[in-house]
Amino acid sequence: MGKKELQSYSKILKEVFNFDASPVAIKRAQASGESINKGKVRMCRAILDAAEGKTLTLCRENNACFGASWHLGFSKMEDPKMLKMVKQFVVEGEKLFSSYGALDNLLSQVGDVPYNKDTCFILSPLENTEAEPELVVFVCNPEQACRLLTFVTFIDGVMPKIKIGGPTCRMAVMYPLLSSQMNISFQDYTARKISKMDKDKLLVSIPFQSLLTIIGNIDKCSAGTAEVEYPKEFREFLQARMSARK
């Protein structure tokens, strides 16, 4: 798939869904000594920056978030003392959970991630990406998220197993990559504050192959450009019902 096709897809999506920002293409690659961006990077902020036009590479060496090194698989949390310290920060420092048991319950639901020590994540606006991405993330409002979800269920009616809570990098990136399913993330509350995410925005992550299906059905679904129609029998039923009320 060429860059021109990806540019056309981005244009279609922006026009149909009226997105303020670009869809963000994410692709994994083998890490190398060269990086497009030289500064430190946080995944939660990188998604927003890519939506505004930047291309960024996030790898173990330039990752700025300690939690992300675990949630993106850059390092393994094997040291019990380290794990205890991290949990203490989340529960007693960030105050995101009422107890260690509550945190453990959440962690048991987010799934494992592979060891990505030698992997980098390349983020860019969909229209600027050079190669077919694995995942596309939308920074959108609830109405736009609803329309995307409608498209995901349009073909077969199967609802994706959405996990809306949990760390941003885990749930907006790793979970949809590994499950090959759409996911919705509000960003975790700490990430929202650090990344300065707009209050009316959330993240919708869709594997690229599923996105192609959405694009192919834009003119067939009312969440896209298709008009709502009333079949003759149903229209006559509604008219009779209204007449009876009068």
User: Tens of pLDDT along 81-92?
Assistant: 888 888 898 899
d(C-alpha 105, C-alpha 223), whole Å: 35
pLDDT of residue 246: 66
* Residue range of the domain that includes 92: 77-114
Residue 178 lies in a domain: yes
Based on the fold, state whether residues 99 and 121 are members of the same structural domain: no
Residue 48 lies in a domain: yes
Q: Is 50 left (phi over 0), alpha (psi -120 to 50) or beta?
A: alpha
Based on the fold, state whether residues 194 and 212 are members of the same structural domain: yes
Based on the fold, state whether residues 201 and 83 are members of the same structural domain: no
Residue 39 lies in a domain: yes
Residue 189 lies in a domain: yes
Based on the fold, state whether residues 37 and 100 are members of the same structural domain: no
* Final residue belonging to a domain, choices 87, 114, 141: 114
User: Tens of pLDDT along 36-49?
Assistant: 566 899 999 999 99
Residue 224 lies in a domain: no
Can you say whether the dihedral through the CA atoms of 68, 192, 202, 7 is positive or negative?
negative
pLDDT of residue 66: 86
Based on the fold, state whether residues 7 and 108 are members of the same structural domain: no
pLDDT of residue 35: 53
Based on the fold, state whether residues 139 and 124 are members of the same structural domain: yes
* Final residue belonging to a domain, choices 93, 114, 135: 114
Residue 231 lies in a domain: no
Based on the fold, state whether residues 38 and 91 are members of the same structural domain: no
Based on the fold, state whether residues 72 and 89 are members of the same structural domain: no
Based on the fold, state whether residues 92 and 49 are members of the same structural domain: no
* All residues at 6 or more sequence positions from 212 whose CB lies less than 8 Å from its CB, including other chains: none
* Final residue belonging to a domain, choices 91, 114, 137: 114
Burial class (CB in 10 A: 0-12, 13-18, 19+), 241: exposed
Based on the fold, state whether residues 110 and 198 are members of the same structural domain: no
Burial class (CB in 10 A: 0-12, 13-18, 19+), 233: exposed
CB 127 within 8 A of CB 22: yes
Based on the fold, state whether residues 184 and 109 are members of the same structural domain: no
Per the structure, how many domains does the chain have?
A: 2
Residue 243 lies in a domain: no
The DSSP code for 200 is T
Based on the fold, state whether residues 126 and 208 are members of the same structural domain: yes
Residue 236 lies in a domain: no
Averaged over successive runs of 10 residues, the pLDDT of the chain (246 residues) comes to: 89 96 96 68 96 95 89 87 88 91 88 88 95 96 97 94 91 95 94 94 97 96 93 85 77
Residue with tokens 């990559």: 177
User: How crowded is the C-beta side of 126, counted as CA atoms within 13 Å?
Assistant: 27
